Structure 1
Amino acid sequence: MSLTPFGAALGGALGACFSNAVVYPLDVAKTRIQATSPASKGKRKDDMTMLSVLQDILKQEGIVGWYSGFAATMLNTFSTQYAYFFFYSFIRTAYTKRLASKLPKGSKPPPLSTVAELALGAIAGALSQIFTIPVSVIATRQQIGRSLRQSSKPYLLVDGEDDSEKKEDEEAQKQRTKVKEDEEENDNSFLTIAHEIIREDGITGLWRGLKPSMVLTVNPAITYGVYERLKSILLLARARAAAGEKMTPWMSFVLGAFSKTLATIVTYPYIMAKVRIQARTSDPDVDAEAADRTNDRTSDAEKLVGGPSVLHPHPRGVRVKQTGALGLLIRVLRTEGIGGCYQGMSAQIIKAVLSQALLFVSKEQFEKWAFVIMILFSKLRSRS
């Protein structure tokens, strides 16, 4: 009895949750490093190391800060990995059967090419992201903490706004939000963050960062494509050397670490851009630049509308145009140089490599448990 797509997905998801739970404080630290712009926050690069960020979190928030958004992240990890492994296993099985159907009866289909592995992984990743990204957005907001979110509230540019209407809107807005702001000031819960996102960006805000997420589907595709290719080569070499055909945990760890490092280096700029977009820490810089340019151009127009353009903090319920990943990266490249596009990459690699390597090691164990669960479930169904 072989594992169904359900069993493979369950094993992969449980393994991913285990591996991410082990290194979770590192995940929080790398997210805050990626979401923070040293230039805009007045921080030196020395202050943005994983160790220094972990120490700052411990001093300001205690040990609880190391586990900010833990439940949401585990839910996101389980749902994303389950969806990915399910779609990947389902699509790969269907594709392999289709290849086998074109071959003579009894002949074994050849191993999939690297291009095919990458393509199947990318499709599976794209399908999983569409369904699971809202939880990822909420988890990212929770991880960066309320203090960083408050310091990075976006701004809105309003040209020629009528004074009376502006005052009425401001007063009404103050009345509507005063009570909620007092209640939510220290609330970092899942539902509170979800409501905050919807108020700021509408329901589509829960899919913030979907485009770079789609681009990043090549990350697991590269990871698993490289892993499967190296695994096949290694097993073939061991078989020829009469050393057995099974992968040891240490071999899985090394192959997993190498494949994830390669995938992270290739895709890292978009990883950082996705975090900043979801955390909204890039918006103030964009809007401030837009405000400066607009104010320079509207000195004559101010006389026509009866008042100057107003730059005021972004109120809840008013939507700001989202920053695109490519535009964000161009601005980072212009203001911070090439190093800015790779800010926090070492933290990302440490966390990702440890997590992915643990996943490859534990995934096979969890697949065995999933296999046992499937057998027990099958027996229970036959008895009933």
Structure 2
Amino acid sequence: MSDSTVHAIAGAGGGIVSMTLTYPLVTISNRLQVQKDKTNKEAYKNGLDVVRKVIAKEGIAGLYSGLDSALFGISLTNYCYYYFYEFTKSVINKAQMSTIESMSAGAVAGAATVLITNPIWVINTRINTRNTSSPNSRPLSTFETAAEMIKENGFKSFWQGVMPALVLVANPIIQYTVFEKIKAKIAKTRALTSFDFFLLGAVSKLAATSITYPYIVVKSRMQLKQSDNVNERYTSILDGFRKIVKYEGIAGLYKGISSKIVQSILTASFLFMAQASLVEYVAKLLTILGVRAQKRI
């Protein structure tokens, strides 16, 4: 079994740990991102208001709505990303990649991951932002949500938002390039600790999310069921940007950014720390099981 697979399995495990620890922040960010009308009495004012209203109407469980699909999604996303990233690195076959090579590896890994996992994140966004406060509404499971999407718009609905998601491949490209460059500089002076990986994850994700956040907002909205109102229906990435700025101002592109940055930084920090710790354990386990020859990662 290849080193790429070992890193992929460790990445999937790290993703599960990080998503479980930070999921309420995902809920807060998602609900603020997709909110278009702030004048409605039910509208969320800020992150704390989201927490208060969600708990009041849906209970604590409301903050974890869609966690099952998110855990499946993050494990598959990280498995794919780490597999293709490490595989591309092995093809480049350099101990120290240049910035362009690192960005190329990130682009290949990111594009492959988006195309494979987009349906999962569309389902998760639908579940996570579903209004369950009305009497006739109830939380839907992952499979019920998928069935509802197929019934309403066919299988094409699973690929809503795929174009902005592909544009957002820039996010992990920036993240992993910053991560690799800082890691290489530290590694020249001393061995990296788990806390180093935690901090590297935070710094690299802060850079990536701050730059790409407006696209994240557009992607989230395009993954929702599109409104019949022409002013609220986005036909493309540029159309999404245009309508958000027109009806909500520039600030509309940054809704939920504070909770998103906190969530992204913590998720990335826990992910990098857990993945780095799990690599050796995964390699040893696969060696013991006889599916991998003994060698050092």
Cα contact 1:39–1:336 (8 A) shared by 2: no
Give the match for residue 60 of structure 2.
63
Q: Which amino acid aligns with 1:8?
A: H
The amino acid that maps onto 1:135 is: I
Specify the alignment match of 1:269 in structure 2: 214
Counterpart among 117, 123, 133 of residue 138 in structure 1: 123
1:70-94 CA deviation, whole Å, 9 max, x = no partner?
1111001111111111111111111
Instruction: Write the deviation string for residues 137-165 of structure 1: whole angstroms up to 9, x where unpaired.
Output: 111111112448x9xxxxxxxxxxxxxxx
Conserved in 2, the CA contact under 8 Å of 1:49 and 1:347? Answer: no
CA–CA distance in structure 2, aligned partners of residues 258 and 284 of structure 1: 41
In the alignment, which of 249, 261, 286 is matched to residue 374 of structure 1?
A: 286
d(CA) in 1 for partners of 2:29, 2:252: 14
For the pair 1:212 / 2:164, whether they are aligned, the reply is yes
Query: Residue 284 of structure 1: CA displacement?
Result: 4.7
1:381–1:86 Cα change, 3 Å = closer
Change in CA separation of 1:380 and 1:260 when aligned onto 2, cut-off 3 Å: closer
Structure-2 residue corresponding to 1:199: 151
Superposed, which structure 2 residues align to 1:1-384 within 5 Å? 4-39=3-38, 41=40, 47-96=44-93, 109=94, 111-147=96-132, 185-236=137-188, 238=189, 245-280=190-225, 283-285=227-229, 287=230, 289=231, 323-378=235-290
Give the TM-score normalised by the residue count of structure 1: 0.71
Equivalent residue of 1:371, what SS? helix
Determine helix, strand or coil for the equivalent of 1:38.
coil
Hey, what does 1:179 align to over in structure 2?
none
Q: CA deviation at 1:334?
A: 1.6
Aligned amino acid, residue 62 of structure 1: G
Write the letter of the residue equivalent to 2:59.
G
Q: Which residue of 2 aligns with 1:309?
A: none
Deviation at 1:50, TM superposition (A): 1.7
Amino acid paired to 1:340: G
CA deviation map 1:311-364 (0-9, x unaligned):
xxxxxxxxxx86322211111112222111111111110000000011111111
Mapped partners of 2:277, 2:238: distance in 1: 40
CA positional deviation for 1:249: 2.0
Is the contact made by 1:24 and 1:66 (CA closer than 8 Å) also made in structure 2? yes
Counterpart contact for 1:87–1:124, Cα < 8 Å: yes
Question: Percent identity between the aligned chains?
Answer: 29
Aligned residues: CA RMSD: 2.3
Which amino acid counterpart does residue 128 of structure 1 have in structure 2?
Answer: T
Q: Quick one: distance in 2 between partners of 1:21 and 1:221?
A: 24
Change (3 A) 1:88 1:363: same
Structure 2, gaps ≥5 residues long: none
Q: What letter matches 2:193 in structure 1?
A: T
Deviation at 1:8, TM superposition (A): 0.6
8 Å Cα contact 1:30-1:344 kept in structure 2: yes
Q: How many equivalent residue pairs?
A: 293
